[in-house]
Structure 1
Amino acid sequence: MTDTGRHETQGGRSIAIVGAGVVGAATALALAARGHAVTVIDRGEVGAGTSSGNAGAIVTGAVTPTATPGVIRSIPSYLLDPNSAAVLRPAHFFRSLPWLLRFIAAGQPKRVVGIAAALHPLVSKSLQAHLALADMSGARELIRPGGWLKLYTSAAGFSASALERELMTRHGVHFSVLQPAEVAELEPRLNKNAYTRGLFQPDSGFVNYPRALAQSYFECARQRQALYLQETVLELRPVDGGGVSIRTDQATRQFDAVVVAAGAWSKQFAAQVGDKVSLDTERGYHLSFASTGESLLGRPVCFPEKQCVLSPMHDGISLSSGDELAGLVAPPDFRRIRALVPFARNVLPALMGQAIQREWMGYRPSTPDSLPVIARSPRCAKVFYAFGHGHLGLTLSAITAQLVAGMVSGDPEPFDLSPYRIARF
C-alpha cells in the first residue's frame, strides 16, 4: 500500500515525525501551529516510552556536560565495579568503544567549556519554551515552579561540584549554596541528618506527570489536524524530485519532509539517509513508591553522590537512577536501583512504610558530547533531526520543537545552531 501521506493545510507542508515521545509531541504542536500538516508515527502510544519515566525536572541551568574530567577519571570503576554510579556491561564494551572514546575526548577541560557554552542557549530558554507550548495546549497547570535542588551528604561531595558551580557562574545561571537550615525550610520532610549542603537553582521548573504533558502537546496538535499512526517505522528513503518516503509495517507513505525524533532508535534512520551519528543509550532505572496522600517533597531532589533523584510525581514518589551502557536489547537489571531503596527511605522517612508500586527502565539517547542533534540532514534537505538529548529530554523538548519548526519553515537561526549539527560526528 502506498499513499502520499498528505492532508494539506493551507500554506503548509506535509511533515512526518518519527517518534511520539515528548520531543516528537512538542515538535508536532510547534509545526501544526505554523500550519503544517503533521503526521506522528510511532509503534507505541504518545508519551509512553522513555519520556514517561524521567525525574520531571526542567533544569534551566544544566550547562555541565556528562563527560567531565572527574567522570573520565571514574571510568575504570564503571568497567570493574558493578555497583558503581554508572555501569558498562562487558558484553556491550566493544560495541560502545567508539562512543566511549568520543566521550573521553569530550571530557577534556577545553571541550567541557565549549560544550557548556553550547548547552547554555538551549537550557536557558527551555522553561520559557515549555510555557509557550503549555499555554497553547492548556497544560500550564502541569508545569510548576519550584527549582532544582541538589543535596550533598559530605563535604567532599559538595567540593566535587566546583566545576558545575564555575560553569553556572560563567553563564549567569542563578543558583545559591544552601546551609542545612535553608534546605530544611525548602524540604521539611527530608531527614535533616541526611545532608550537609545544598545547591539550588530556583529558576528551574517541574512536571509531575511528564506523559500527560506530552499527550497534552499532541492533543493540541491534533486539534490543528495532526494525525497519529501507531505503526512501526522500518525505513526512510529520500524520493527523487523531493520529499521523503516512509515505510512502516503497515504502509508506505510520502511526505514533503520528515523529522526524526525517535530517541535512542534514531541512529538507524539517520544511517538510512546516509548520516553517521555517535549515539548510545544511558539506560535509566526508576522505582515508584505508592503515594501517602501527603505532600512529601516540593520539587525533584538530586543526590549526586548516590546518582539518584527523588521526585514528587502525580502518583507517588519516584526514585530514578542509573547510567548503564548496555544497548537496546539486553534485559534490564534492577539490582542497583533496588539497592538504593534503603537510602531513599532514610533521606525521606515517610517512605518507610510505602510499597514499591512500579519498576521501569528507559533508554536515554545520549551523544558523547552531551549535545543533542538538532539539525537538517546534510544528505537530504527534507530530513530534520531532533534527538540525542541524553539526560535533558524533557528539559530540551520544547526548545528543540521551536528550533525544528523554525528550520522546517525557513526561519533565520535565532542563535548559532552549528554545535548541534549531525556532521560533527
Structure 2
Amino acid sequence: MEQHPKDRGGVSVAIVGAGIVGCAMALTLAAEGHQVTVFDPDAPGAGTSSGNAGAIVTGSVTPTATPAVLKALPSYLLDRNSPAVLRLRHAPRVVPWLLRFIRAGAPAEVERIAAALSPLVSRSLEAHRALAALAGVEEMITQEGWLKVYSNEAEFAATALDRHLMDRHGVNYRILDRKEVTDLEPNLDPALCTIGLHQPESGFVRFPQGLAQAYFDAAARRGALHLRQKVRSVSRRPGGVTVHAEGGAKEFDRLVICAGAWSALLARMLGDRVSLDTERGYHIAFGSGTASLMRGPVVFPALSLVLSPMHDGIRLVSGDELAGLTAPPNYRRIRALVPQAYRALPALREVAPATEWMGFRPSTPDSLPVIGPSVHGTEVIHAYGHGHLGLTLSAVTARMVADALAGRPATFDPTPYLAARF
C-alpha cells in the first residue's frame, strides 16, 4: 500500500472530484502547505462545472423550494414541457428527496434557509478574486452583474418574495426601467424588458472550465497532484483514510469529498447518509462568434431560460430534470426553447445552434450545500451539494474547509451545512 509523501509540511489530503469545487479546494489547501492529491478521471472542470451560465451570484438568497414553487410542483413534474420535470422511472428513488423539498418550502424554512445562504453567497466573489489572484488569472472574473428581465408588471410582482429576502439580507440590487435595461443590453427585444432587476455586485466567468483548470494549474505549481483515476471506494483507517482507486490503494490524513452528484455514494461508504439528488441541466451554445451580442448573463424567468455570452458563444441554459445519473439525455425541452432565445435576442435569429450539453447538478432538498466534517470523524470532510450555485460557492467552500483543517474559528456558523442535518 502506497503512503502519500509528506515533504512539504501540512497534512496529506485526498480530494475526490476535479470540478470547480475540487479545483478551488486544491489551490486553497496547497497554498496553505498541505499535500494535495485530486482524484478524477476527467480533466479539471470538464464535467458539470463546464456547462453553467458563468455567474457568481452574490445575492442568491432565495432557495429553490418556496411556497410558489410548491404550488406549481404538480404541473412542473407532470407537464413534459414545464421548467422542471420528473422522469417516471426515477420517481420511486426521488420520493424521500421530494418530501424533504416540500418541507423546505414552508415559509419559516424559506426564511431560515435564506439566512444560511446569505453568508455564503455574499462572500463568494471576494473569495474567487482571492483565488484568481493566487492563480494569476484575475482577468477571468469580471463584474457584469446578474440581470433578470420581466415583460410586464405581473411577472415582476411574482418576485415579491425574492425582493423581501434580498432586502432582509442586505443584497444590493436596482430596479430598472425599459431604457435602463436596453442600455445595459441593447440587443435584447425591448418588448420583453419592461422591468429589470439587476444585482451589480455579482461576478461573471466566461470560461468556467478554464477557471477550474487555472485553479488546478496554480495548485500543481504548489505541489498538488491530479491522478486521472476513478475512485472505487473509500474507507477509514486509524488516523486517516484510504482511497481505493484504479491505480491501487493510497493512504491520506484527510479526505475531502467534492464529487458532485456522485458524492452521496462515497458518503454512504463512510457512514454518512445525505439527501442528495441530481437536477440535470442542459444548455445549447450558438458558436463563439455570437458572444459579442451580450454584455453579461440575463435571466428571462417567464421563458424559463438564461442567455449568457460565454467563451463558446451565447449559451441558452435551462432545465431542471430529476432523472438520476444513468438515464440518457433528453434534449427535446431545451431545443424547444431555441425560438424563445431568438425572440429574446433577435440578432441571434440567423445563427443555428452549434452544440448541446447536459450536466448533473448535485442538489439537496433544502438548497444548502453539504460542507463540514463527517458525523463519524473529522478525517472526512464533505464539500458538495451546491445545486445551481456550484461556481458561485466553490471558492468560499474551499475557504471554509481550509479553516476547518487549520483549526481556525469559523467566520460564521457552519451548523446549517453539516451532514448531520439529514
Shared fold, TM over 0.5: yes
Separation (CA, whole Å) in 2 of partners of 1:343 and 1:293: 16
1:45 alignment partner, one of 21, 43, 46: 43
Is the Cα contact below 8 Å between 1:238 and 1:380 reproduced in 2? no
- For residues 192-231 of structure 1, what are the structure 2 equivalents within 5 Å? 192-231=190-229
The sequence identity of aligned pairs, in percent, is 58
Q: Determine helix, strand or coil for the equivalent of 2:144.
A: coil
The answer as to whether partners of 1:257 and 1:382 remain within 8 angstroms in 2 is yes
Q: Matched residues in 2 for 1:93 and 1:170: separation?
A: 36
Matched, 1:104 2:102: yes
List gaps (5 residues or longer) in structure 2: none
2:131 aligned counterpart, secondary structure: helix
CA displacement at 1:380 relative to structure 2:
2.6
Displacement of 1:157 = 1.5
Distance (Å, rounded) in 2 between the aligned partners of 1:306 and 1:38: 43
Distance of 2:73 and 2:151 partners within structure 1:
22
| Structure 1 residue identity aligned to 2:419 | I
Instruction: Tell me the equivalent position of 2:414.
Output: 417
Q: Confirm whether residue 260 of structure 1 aligns to residue 257 of structure 2.
A: yes
Q: Offset at 1:160?
A: 1.0
Q: Which amino acid aligns with 1:130?
A: H
Distance in structure 2 (CA, Å) of the matches to 1:154 and 1:70: 19
- CA distance in 2 between counterparts of 1:176 and 1:263 reads 33
Deviation at 1:293, TM superposition (A): 5.7
Residue range with higher mean Cα deviation, 349-358 or 269-278: 349-358
Map of 2:181 onto structure 1: 183
Out of 114, 137, 140, the residue aligned to residue 139 of structure 1 is: 137
- Distance in 1, matches of 2:277 and 2:291, equals 38
The answer to whether the 8 Å contact 2:291/2:313 transfers is no
- Please, which moves more after superposition, 187-196 or 38-47? 187-196
Q: Distance in 2 between matches of 1:10 and 1:87?
A: 49
CA contact (8 A) 1:19 1:40 kept: yes
User: Does the CA contact (< 8 Å) of 2:278 and 2:360 recur in 1?
Assistant: yes
Unaligned runs of 5+ in 1: none
Number of the residue aligned with 1:121: 119
Q: How many Å separate the matches in 2 of 1:35 and 1:218? A: 15
The offset of 1:194, in angstroms, is: 2.1
Q: Corresponding residue for 1:346?
A: 343
| 8 Å contact kept, 1:78–1:84 | yes
C-alpha distance in 1 between matches for 2:250 and 2:278: 29
How far 1:154 sits from its partner (Å)? 2.9
Aligned residue in 1 for 2:298: 301
Name which of structure 1's ranges 390-399 and 403-412 shifts more when overlaid on structure 2.
403-412
Alignment match of 1:322 (pick from 296, 319, 322): 319
Q: For residues 236-270 of structure 1, what are the alpha-carbon distances to aligned partners after superposition, in whole Å with 9 as ceiling and x for unaligned?
A: 1001x211000012211110100000000000000
Calculate the aligned-residue CA RMSD, in Å.
0.9
Distance 1:224 1:9 in 2: 12
User: Could you say if the C-alpha distance between residues 233 and 200 of structure 1 is closer, same or farther in structure 2, counting changes exceeding 3 Å?
Assistant: same
Corresponding residue SS for 1:319: strand
Checking the alignment, whether the CA contact within 8 Å between 1:23 and 1:394 is kept in structure 2 is: yes
Other-structure match for 1:14: 12
Q: 2: CA distance between counterparts of 1:404 and 1:424?
A: 18
Q: What amino acid sits opposite 2:409 in the alignment? A: P
| Cα distance in 2 for residues equivalent to 1:45 and 1:11 | 27
- Aligned pair count reads 422
* Aligned position for 2:267: 270
Aligned to 1:81: 79
Counterpart of 1:358 in structure 2 is 355
